[in-house]
A and B are shown apart, each in its own frame.
Chain A
Amino acid sequence: QQPVQSPQAVILREGEDAVINCSSSKALYSVHWYRQKHGEAPVFLMILLKGGEQKGHDKISASFNEKKQQSSLYLTASQLSYSGTYFCGTESNYQLIWGAGTKLIIKP
């Protein structure tokens, strides 16, 4: 079953923070995050494994709460280069099931 992402879209000014959520009705073993810029292929950001871990990648970090079956992606002090659509993916039978995406627009 497809994970649910929220919000669907967010508009920020450069330097502002954003949080993107991903939740599932099924037990999660891992959550994957990707970013896709318009007209390009998705690019891997990070994988979080069950155990409540957090990861960071420059000013982009994420958390994974397996009890709540959800993950959150945090973008701090956003830059213009962060614009794009963010997708979460949850693992099921060695496949990834993708959320519908969250479109992030950063304005100067």
Chain B
Amino acid sequence: NAGVTQTPKFQVLKTGQSMTLQCAQDMNHNSMYWYRQDPGMGLRLIYYSASEGTTDKGEVPNGYNVSRLNKREFSLRLESAAPSQTSVYFCASSEQGAEEAFFGQGTRLTVV
């Protein structure tokens, strides 16, 4: 029972490089989310997708883009990485809106 799967688990990027974080869920959930978590802080919403075919900005969207490829997959792209984007990134999904959310194991990203 996979739940929410994120790849990669760890990544080091140089400033200016680009990369895509992948997320897939197998629970047939409608809503998917990308969060970042900085040391000692709570989760901040980057982008979310309330349903297949829709995406919306969250609290901290600058420097990121997302694609809801299908109902299962929601990817996060950093076009030109900056040191300020060093963080742990979590993908999550829920049946609808603000219901119980299931999280992936996170991606620890370091930008040097």
Contact = CB atoms under 8 A, between A and B. Distances in A.
Interface of A: 2, 30, 32, 34, 40-44, 47, 87, 89, 91, 94-101
A47 B45 CA distance: 19
B58 A95 contact: yes
Interface residues of B, number: 22
A44 B105 CA distance: 14
- What does DSSP make chain A's interface, helix, strand, loop or mixed? strand
A101 B98 contact: no
Interface string B3-43: 00000000000000000000000000001000000001111
B104 A101 contact: no
Contacts, number: 51
B50 A42 contact: no
A100 B44 CA distance: 10
Q: Ordered nearest first, which 8 A-B pairs have the shortest CB separation?
A: A41-B103, A98-B42, A94-B97, A91-B98, A98-B43, A44-B100, A100-B42, A101-B42
Contacts of B40: 100-101
A34 to B, nearest CB: 8
Nearest to A42: B103
Contact of A100 (B41, B50, B59, B90): B41
A4 to B, nearest CB: 11
Contact of A41 (B41, B45, B58, B105): B105
